[in-house]
Structure 1
């Protein structure tokens, strides 16, 4: 600080990281920083404001030169072994306390959508309105209660304080701001202060708390939904797969106010929220009886939607006949709110009229969410990837198809084909009454993954798997009686499964030597709430079929959960930082080994018939989440996986009563490949 005080105003210097961090923390308590600077230097010292990477590098080198001239005995870069013998300055204990408290700042502002530009623009606009409220309160002389900032306002306020000179100039007319705000370094806000802040904000004709902008972000339901780490677009390793489209999730709040004035009985009137795309079956109804007496904005629905849902529609309807379960309704008016319009709207809110009422939709910017994939049964294929069927035989002039592979089609969250995964089970050909495919050796039962979708023949459901092979998994073991199997993945990873005393699963990359573990059950952020288990799933049978991919972290003591696999349903949720090919191959290798250990077809691998899925767009997997509902399909899938995923299949998944063509091979061929 003494060095900075002696520098001319136009001197560009950037201190070392440790000094910069302490300086930044000190600036966040503006009153203490102002008093410190005035008492020590007689003026307010501004912090460096350099945002260009090239200029930052030059400013750091310039600071190093000045530092070495002024403090030759003190190293510029912090060394863990160095210790200063200088006397502790008066008041430095207060600075240390502030630095210690700032350790929790990252938790307060860790929402995935916070760095988005549109969110920051809206936050800045709301912060300026917040300052105007403070100024107005000062003029009226009513400062008995502090104002409580929402997370977005709080973030911009702290950022504003990090530039002390500009902050002092901007807030000069307001007076002592810190005493008027229940901020980070102040005592906790009271319920009365929260209520008063909401009341004062009504002057702006919009709700104070809305999507992504709440007073207590640590307790917000969005933290349970956005439970993954923020990543940059370039960190998504799955961008190389053209058929695998990223998911983007956003928080949405719907507010209503006003009255419906009609001649008919208002008890028959209600409002309905619908999704424009991906979840067309969703209908959320709300009676207007609870809204007629409200002149203020009332939060009516709070949900989380994929960006692919396009938007929401608020409908005003009138019930003509029937009961509450089966009734005929008449549409009076409707208003559509699309995400593209909302992203361009001021403060990320949009207001439209719905009859004589008003509807407001608030949303956060969409952020990339984990991928969702599931494997569904399909027909047996030959060595070349063609389905074993008469259609292919006729196209090939009845030339026999060689080899037999158990095949699964991998669908994304929207039910679209993106991969085909196959397990080799037999070799040879089939001729009526003459030849039949024979089992391959254990070490030849490889798993193969192909990228793309099926190529169908003449509009039929028969066809060829994509040609591009992107990965394989080969089993290895030293002795048939060993309780250890190693799967060598062509991606350079090695999956080791041991079950001598207890089940242990480890994933290691041969190049980077990075290791990860597969932990049984739903761990870390995937762990279900005990209240949910006791209410909806007393036995929690789904938990027995999950594995969590766990990786150690240098900055998280508890580590990171990078993927969740349900091996019974062959369903996967994984971070964009994890390779989809590795996750799919690992899932299939895992279920193959566990089925062999338990001598049981755990995942219905014996099913060799295409499964008909629900119509795309009717109820897409994970497209809408409504945490407050008891409907299982509107909650995170891993809480009720068997209900959310299996119920979409319209055919028998056990394979017990299904009949298969003789050309596919005998039933024993597939049982031997899976269970032994």
Structure 2
């Protein structure tokens, strides 16, 4: 930072803020998390009812309370009213005018607390009930009708004309952008407050110079800006003193296309920031993450009370795993100086880790901004250890090949100096290059690097399962013979370094020395050489880890589409005893297994593209995450298990092993079929791919890159979406007949119909594996649901003159599943169903903007 730039930065920090923005930002994150657990407030009748309650009850109560304290103690705002109030205040100019028009003054939040602060709201509720006897303080917002809301609203005298429905819609995605662990850290928020003051300073300078620029914040700045606006009186006072006006918060533009308002605004803000302060405007962990992943369910489990289940002492000692930390890094090479006199040729830098780790173990190439005139920012993850190593390369031609280039010098940057302990999260400095022998220069060559980190966070556990010998096709997983079929096949599980941590084997269940009973068990071979029983098949599922977990096999239709369910029950008792408490149900843990990659494992968020049929996602449901949180990814095609937390590692391995064996029968690979055997009719679609490992982010006039074969204008990639899959089918798939054939066609070797309609509606998925019947077809009726899934000779979800709702058969069924009478088909052998890489982008990644 030059002297003038340092002076400008110091001036920006003198802007007065009368609110403790650090504590308010942390409270805002807790509040947004609480709203996200109640997503009915984002849209629909629940939001409309909340808006009515806000106008009819909360604002009048707040006006009365602010005029004269009607009771001692703080006013506690109901969650639904607070959400609407939150969205209203984030348009500070409109909120000010609305309050003044309706109540003659700005309604502030002095002595008002959020429900998430845990302060007793009994006094508030008593006053509320006296003022509004027909409107409960804690209202049922789930079962709400739009007609009832309209009738209530008609006679209301004071009602804001600001479109709060649209405001809530615009603000609902914000939580996903700021819901990352590092956002709540003291160091990150402290730096964000300083950057917010710098942001206001740029707007002030523009106003003084008569420059009209649409300034766009990064998400760390935006979080603090929102926090400031939540105190409307202080915000108006502070901004009038700093800028001479109340700064409007324009969140109505979300088009990030190149050349559009946000793109141009962010590019201009970036350039002005870097020229004014000499530091980078982008910041690791503060950039746009892309759209939120698709939910796995729209019906949260509000009644479920779950807590984390830790492995018992016995099982925690069975596998030893190294705990690792990971950081996200943004890197830009800003400039170079003291080049040898008369130097000619193109320059670039190759960077790597001096101690390669499991996240970053290759060399990358990056241009130097001052030499190329093109801003390129590398984004990657690595362990917060060792050094980043830089090599300055020179090439005389336009083909910047590393192999044919000349090394001019090298330098290293120690990550541990800044991350252990953490001093600051953004650095720009000159590195002195050590010349390569034969390279002469009067002065040492200097390379200027700009680096930004996130705080170190626990890294996911990556494990690989490999088989020593393939399983026999003749072994049936569900038809347990009495005779001994001992298999010699072992599945070895290794960690990221290739070290074996455990081996698994599927065996017939043994009872006595020479006696065998129908059943299966999973045996674990420990590193010590000892073998232990890790799971047993018990009727309708698997008992895992001495009854700590129970792996439920399919036995009913699932509205949310999950395949299996895993619950921890006996473990609850162990945790309770360890804590000297007997509270069993409160410690139950529920995990559902969904086909494909879900939530943050979605293909557009995962850099590695693959066949969705190979993946299973383990999703935990709890009070904190009623809509589900992805905790593990099982790649049955390549044998990888990725667990986010340690408690899920051993269960994840065992469940992946069992699921693979359940689904890998009769030449069946992956979740649905061998990907190499499928022929797909696919539709190309443009998507962006921002991700923790492979980020395609659209950064204005700059490029996030892995340094290999750079491109300066990449805004998306082609994604192949398979909408309908057909193979060896003798029937119809999806949308044939004289009615409606919705859903998916059949996928493998089906001689019947999948998703076809003859005079009716055939919705659902159709058949999937070797089905001789119909799946999701309708003949003068409605055949909804999923068809057969594995080796079914009957019908699944078909309707003949009636409605055949539900799922078809799933495993080896010779009869009908869910046909003519709603419900599910059969599951097990019965004849009739009864009911690290880094990618390239351009920067306009922020959701909010301000015109100044």
TM-score band w.r.t. shorter chain: 0.5 to 0.7
Q: Aligned with 2:280: secondary structure?
A: coil
Q: 1:411 corresponds to which residue?
A: 494
Q: 1:543 to 1:442 in 2, by over 3 A?
A: farther
Listed as ranges, the matches of 1:29-68 within 5 Å are 29-48=91-110, 56-58=118-120, 60-68=121-129
**1:491 is the counterpart of 2:559:** no
Distance apart, 1:129 and its partner CA: 0.5
Distance apart, 1:571 and its partner CA: 1.5
Cα distance in structure 2, aligned partners of 1:626 and 1:466 = 43
Do the aligned residues in 1 keep the contact of 2:389 with 2:410 (CA within 8 Å)? no
Q: 1:254 corresponds to which residue?
A: 331
Cα distance in structure 1, aligned partners of 2:378 and 2:458 = 20
Select which of 135, 140, 153 maps to 2:221: 153
Cα distance in structure 2, aligned partners of 1:206 and 1:360 = 8
Listed as ranges, the matches of 1:653-672 within 5 Å are none
**1:184 is the counterpart of 2:267:** no
CA-atom RMSD, angstroms?
4.9
Distance apart, 1:157 and its partner CA: 0.6
Cα distance in structure 2, aligned partners of 1:521 and 1:99 = 31
Q: 1:645 corresponds to which residue?
A: none
Q: 1:606 corresponds to which residue?
A: none
**1:207 is the counterpart of 2:264:** no
Q: 2:447 corresponds to which residue?
A: 357
**1:194 is the counterpart of 2:266:** yes
TM-score w.r.t. structure 1 length?
A: 0.65
Do the aligned residues in 2 keep the contact of 1:406 with 1:425 (CA within 8 Å)? no
Cα distance in structure 2, aligned partners of 1:110 and 1:33 = 26
Cα distance in structure 1, aligned partners of 2:205 and 2:354 = 42
Cα distance in structure 1, aligned partners of 2:64 and 2:114 = 23
Listed as ranges, the matches of 1:394-543 within 5 Å are 407-424=490-507, 441=516, 443=518, 445-449=520-524, 454=527, 464-465=528-529, 472-475=534-537, 486-489=541-544, 490-496=547-553, 505-509=563-567, 511=569, 518-523=593-598, 525-528=600-603, 543=612
Select which of 361, 365, 372 maps to 1:285: 365
Select which of 280, 292, 302 maps to 2:378: 302
Q: Which moved more, 1:486-495 or 1:21-30?
A: 486-495
Q: Which moved more, 1:153-162 or 1:519-528?
A: 519-528
Listed as ranges, the matches of 1:495-644 within 5 Å are 495-496=552-553, 505-509=563-567, 511=569, 518-523=593-598, 525-528=600-603, 543-549=612-618, 561-576=630-645, 579-594=648-663, 597-598=666-667
Q: Which moved more, 1:270-279 or 1:590-599?
A: 590-599
Q: Aligned with 1:66: secondary structure?
A: helix
Q: 1:543 to 1:348 in 2, by over 3 A?
A: same
Cα distance in structure 1, aligned partners of 2:381 and 2:669 = 38
Select which of 204, 209, 218 maps to 2:290: 218
Residue segments in structure 1 that go unaligned for 5+ positions in a row: 228-233, 380-402, 429-437, 455-463, 478-484, 603-621, 633-638, 640-676
Distance apart, 1:124 and its partner CA: 1.1
Cα distance in structure 2, aligned partners of 1:239 and 1:172 = 59
Cα distance in structure 1, aligned partners of 2:626 and 2:114 = 33
Q: Aligned with 2:173: secondary structure?
A: helix
Cα distance in structure 2, aligned partners of 1:531 and 1:49 = 45
Q: Which moved more, 1:74-83 or 1:247-256?
A: 74-83
Do the aligned residues in 2 keep the contact of 1:420 with 1:466 (CA within 8 Å)? no
Q: How many residues align?
A: 532
Q: Which moved more, 1:324-333 or 1:256-265?
A: 324-333
Q: Which has the higher helix share?
A: 1
List per-residue Cα deviations over 1:466-493 (Å, max 9, x = no partner).
Answer: 68x5x6212356xxxxxxx843323231
List per-residue Cα deviations over 1:243-268 (Å, max 9, x = no partner).
Answer: 33455443211111223411474438
Cα distance in structure 1, aligned partners of 2:76 and 2:655 = 47
Cα distance in structure 2, aligned partners of 1:49 and 1:372 = 49
Q: 2:22 corresponds to which residue?
A: none
Q: 1:376 to 1:630 in 2, by over 3 A?
A: farther
Do the aligned residues in 2 keep the contact of 1:278 with 1:309 (CA within 8 Å)? no
**1:371 is the counterpart of 2:461:** yes
Q: 1:100 to 1:319 in 2, by over 3 A?
A: closer
